[in-house]
Amino acid sequence: MSSPEVTTMTATLDKAAGAAATARHAARLEHVSKSFPGPAGPQSVLDDISLAVAPGEFVTLLGASGCGKSTLLNLVAGLDEPTTGEITTDGRPALMFQEHALFPWLSAGKNIELALKLRGIAPRRRRERAEELLALVRLEGAHGKRVHELSGGMRQRVALARALAQESRLLLMDEPFAALDAITRDVLHDELTRIWSETKLSVLFVTHNVREAARLAQRVILLSSRPGRIAREWAVDIPQPRRIEDSAVAELSIEITEQLRGEIRRHGQY
């Protein structure tokens, strides 16, 4: 029988090993499945997903509508729990949605300061840090602007700054540019690439836009139609910064699109 000292030492080593494993990954999913109750019994949304995001890596999740992309992101964010499997992250992730979710009664800067307040940042430091984050997303001078005074692209920049205020090493983005026009989206692609490069964040980015995935990511992961499984992944070695019209981006987009069409046909979900 093990002595208390050995048991304690074993537990300490196991904890240290777990922390070391997490440090090697910003996020790690091991055999994750998710089901929801349905009229005919449990409905499987995700099935046996194993995925790791390395520190500083930019990964996009791509798939047809309803394949479980947003569900997977919610699981990584800790907003829901998997039915089976295990998820570990390097600290608490920050989450950015398609809708900016800014509080309209607060200014741009105060929306960011609210995230800082929740982290326990002293009042005298909040304003200064909010200004720094607005500068990072190229919204200098916008601290006092109300939400209704901002364009759609500016609102998403403030939402990004608020997510960055959480000082997380993992940023989860759920189709954050889907509602924007093509030109604004293109500009924000450039900005996100720049910020990712400067901050060394890990990014897990959900999209249904193949060109967006090919433009942004170091790795593109394609989920099959429901239940979502990893159908294929691509390592993207196209140098950054990229343009959405670059020939290499276009060629990769065509290849991914063909695979996506095959998955949709295979599962009969149009």
pLDDT at 98: 79
Do residues 86 and 198 share a domain?
A: yes
Do residues 196 and 265 share a domain?
A: yes
Q: What pTM was computed for the model? A: 0.86
Do residues 111 and 227 share a domain?
A: no
pLDDT in tens, 5-22: 444 444 444 444 444 444
Counting other chains too, the contacts that 109-116 makes at CB distance below 8 Å and 24 or more residues apart are 109/134, 109/142, 109/143, 109/144, 111/147, 111/158, 111/162, 112/158, 112/161, 112/162, 112/165, 114/162, 115/162, 115/163, 115/165, 115/166, 116/165
For residues 149-170, average pLDDT? 94
Which tokens hold the place of 191?
A: 């900005």
At 267, the pLDDT band (50, 70, 90 cuts) reads: low
| Domain around 236 | 28-93+168-270
For residues 243-249, average pLDDT? 93
Overall domain count for the chain: 2
Burial of 199 (0-12, 13-18, 19+ CB in 10 A): middle
pLDDT at 268: 61
At 270, the pLDDT band (50, 70, 90 cuts) reads: very low
Task: Look up the CATH number of the domain holding residue 42.
Answer: 3.40.50.300
pLDDT at 86: 97
Do residues 189 and 260 share a domain?
A: yes
- One-letter amino acid at 240 equals Q
pLDDT in tens, 102-153: 999 999 999 999 999 999 999 889 999 999 999 999 999 999 999 999 999 9
Do residues 115 and 212 share a domain?
A: no
Do residues 177 and 244 share a domain?
A: yes
Task: Identify the CA nearest to 204 among candidates 89, 37, 100.
Answer: 89
- Residue 7 in any domain: the answer is no
Do residues 122 and 234 share a domain?
A: no
Do residues 176 and 62 share a domain?
A: yes
Do residues 128 and 191 share a domain?
A: no
Last residue of a domain, one of 114, 133, 167: 167
Do residues 162 and 269 share a domain?
A: no
- Residue 243 in any domain: the answer is yes
Please provide the average confidence, as pLDDT, over all residues in the chain. Answer: 88
- Residue 14 in any domain: the answer is no
The answer on pLDDT for 30 being more than 70 is: yes
Do residues 152 and 225 share a domain?
A: no
Do residues 179 and 269 share a domain?
A: yes
